[in-house]
Structure 1
Amino acid sequence: METFTKQETYIREFDPHDYFDTYYSPKAGALSGEWLKFALTNLHEAFSQGGVKGKNLIDIGAGPAIYQLLTACEVFETIITSDFLEQNRTELQKWLKNEQGALDWMEIVKFVCNLEGNSESWEKKEEKLRRTVKLVLKCDVLKRNPFEPLILQPADCIISCLCLEAPCQDVVSYCTVLKNLKDLLKPGGHILIQSALNSTFYFVGEKRFSSLKLTKEDLKKVFEEAGYEIEKIIVAPREDMSRMDISDYDSYYYVHARKPLTA
């Protein structure tokens, strides 16, 4: 068994429908409770009260998911979402085109609408997100330019949820990835990263994948070493330990940082 999951293994074995069923299916998904409340509340506060807004936003390593963009589409004119895997990009396109068989994010869309005080307009929320997402691109964060050969316009904001611990084998490579992402931001631009701490593995269906074990102490260090100005770090303990066989993380984290104006 691989000690660290290779890109080739992801290409061969990662199933986006199994991922959705394992983590996001209503009520049964392992992340459908605590994680979604944590992540979506943080994003809602950043994009509403926190003043994070602008012309363009880049979403890094979306997997097949769209939930992380539901509030962003209210305050950004253009969204580019991305993932390394073709099968995930295919699922994103199916949802964006409202095709039959697309993953059903309706319950999560409704949750975000309730956060925003628009509990009756979830269909309009989906329509708005579909209009705002302009591109679904291949992204490899281990490359100096994650979108090569494309050169993207610098963004006002970058977000990433539950991504960077998968391709990064150690804290040094995580820091290097943050430096790569910084080049995609305008001076003064925001980066919002959310994920799980102290995780070494996660399952997608019956397939086991590795995860970088990142600690709370690592977070401040890597963002500072990558040259960001940290606005906020939030760590929340995992309360439901009943699904430790699926993933062994013990807490969630949210980092809001900025690229310095002089960078």
Structure 2
Amino acid sequence: MCVHTSCNASAFICLLSVVVTEEVSSRLSTFKLQIDFKLNDQVGWAKSWPILLLHTSVIVFLLTHLLQSDYFLSLAFYFDWKNCALWLVHINKRRLKMQNDLPLLTRVDYAWAFDAKAYLSDFYSSPVSDPAMTMMLSVLPIIAERLSLKKAPETGITRLLDIGSGPTIHMAVVFRDKVDEIYLSDYLEQNCEQLRLWMQDRKPFDWRSVLGYIAQREGQATLSVEAMEVASRSKLRGVFHCDVFKPGVVDWPDYDGLGFDVVSSLFCLEFASNTVDDFTNALTNVVRLVKPGGYLILGGVLGESWCKFGGRLFSSYPLTEAQLFASLRQNGINPTDPTFTYYNHSDIFLVLAQPTQ
């Protein structure tokens, strides 16, 4: 690509500091010294500082490694570099407008702001409504087939606990033939109510397309979705309130303390967390419910700070893969262990692991 312009690198850094968030501005300041060397590494013919010719690779480097934004990176290939300042200002104004129009809601707002019906409509009307849900619905049947569960001598049964189920039933459906008992839980009463309605066969939501998709992935395309629902309901033992930041996590009156063969949590911990310490602490509470020799199934999204549905914007901790693995290690799970299974598609991750007790 031809080089359209040259500019003072320090001025360019100042420009970026103006048009991006305070967090990124701080990051730019922190890495100012490294930029001196990194830019010269990226552009061999740029010998002087602070005057540098800004080649495409330099911009991509800045956008990718400093701004840490897929959104900026996707636009990088369409930039007219001589107009990059205008583009950055325009993008930032759009992002600020979005945030002004839709305030970023946190976990303290979930009780009043989370619309269970809107969530189901936006993400589960079709198995391909959302890439993250499509990935989970595709991989979970594979995970279920990989499990080797042994009945507990104390109870003679196997059981699964799903933490942060939301208003969704897909974990119960996928594992209907793998365990004897299934327990669903969520922090929000409106989500628990949707699950109870389904448990009573009152059909609060049409799950036929999602269940048909799961049947296809199981190699049972001729299986009726009605039969899948009946089998799933027959294993469901209850819907409970949960809080991942409380020891014990789930509120139930008669828990025997024996743990669960499978404990799952999908798209929950990062959305409940404000910091990486929150995420790690929540994971600790979840892992403690896995019985010795049992399995943890953990799924979520990396690098996302928000999620939008029902016309509202909800915050999420932008977890990195390094932070995910560090949190797992702190909870007795080694990502290099042969039994560790890890899927990552476009930063949608799914983990199957056996914690070391």
TM-score, scaled to structure 2: 0.64
Write the deviation string for residues 2-34 of structure 1: whole angstroms up to 9, x where unpaired. Answer: 766133x111111101111121212783x2xx3
Write the deviation string for residues 133-188 of structure 1: whole angstroms up to 9, x where unpaired. Answer: 11100000010121246445410011111111111111111111111112211112
DSSP-derived class of the 2:296 partner:
strand
Report the residue type matching 2:288 in the other structure: D
Task: Find out whether 1:114 has 2:210 as its counterpart.
Answer: no
**Separation in 2, partners of 1:168, 1:35:** 19
DSSP-derived class of the 2:137 partner:
helix
Q: Which has the larger share of helix? A: 2
Task: Find out whether 1:130 has 2:260 as its counterpart.
Answer: no
Q: 1:25 aligns with which of 107, 125, 146?
A: 125
**Separation in 1, partners of 2:304, 2:175:** 27
Which stretch shows the higher mean deviation, 83-92 or 179-188? 179-188
DSSP-derived class of the 2:227 partner:
helix
Q: Which has the larger share of strand? A: 1
Structure whose alpha-carbon radius of gyration is higher: 2
Q: 2:177 aligns with which of 67, 74, 96?
A: 74
Counterpart residue number, 2:292:
187
**Separation in 1, partners of 2:281, 2:243:** 13
Counterpart residue number, 1:48:
145
**Separation in 2, partners of 1:46, 1:105:** 21
CA 1:200–1:189: 2 relative to 1, 3 Å? same
Counterpart residue number, 1:258:
354
Report the residue type matching 1:48 in the other structure: E
Counterpart residue number, 2:9:
none
Amino-acid identity (%):
26
CA 1:49–1:184: 2 relative to 1, 3 Å? closer
CA 1:136–1:93: 2 relative to 1, 3 Å? same
Counterpart residue number, 1:146:
249
Counterpart residue number, 1:197:
302
Contact in 1 for aligned 2:342/2:352 (Cα 8 Å): yes
Q: 1:235 aligns with which of 344, 350, 353?
A: 344
Task: Find out whether 1:178 has 2:283 as its counterpart.
Answer: yes
Counterpart residue number, 1:214:
319
Gaps of 5+ in 2: 1-99, 152-157
Contact in 2 for aligned 1:232/1:256 (Cα 8 Å): yes
**TM superposition shift of 1:228:** 2.4
TM-score, scaled to structure 1: 0.86
**TM superposition shift of 1:52:** 5.4
> Number of paired residues?
243
**TM superposition shift of 1:69:** 2.5
DSSP-derived class of the 2:272 partner:
coil
**RMSD across aligned positions (CA):** 2.0
**Separation in 2, partners of 1:195, 1:58:** 17
Counterpart residue number, 2:111:
11
**TM superposition shift of 1:41:** 2.9
DSSP-derived class of the 1:166 partner:
helix
Counterpart residue number, 1:64:
167
**TM superposition shift of 1:128:** 0.4
Which stretch shows the higher mean deviation, 198-207 or 114-123? 114-123
Bigger relative contact order, structure 1 or 2, given CA contacts below 8 A and separation 6+?
1
DSSP-derived class of the 2:184 partner:
strand
**TM superposition shift of 1:68:** 2.5
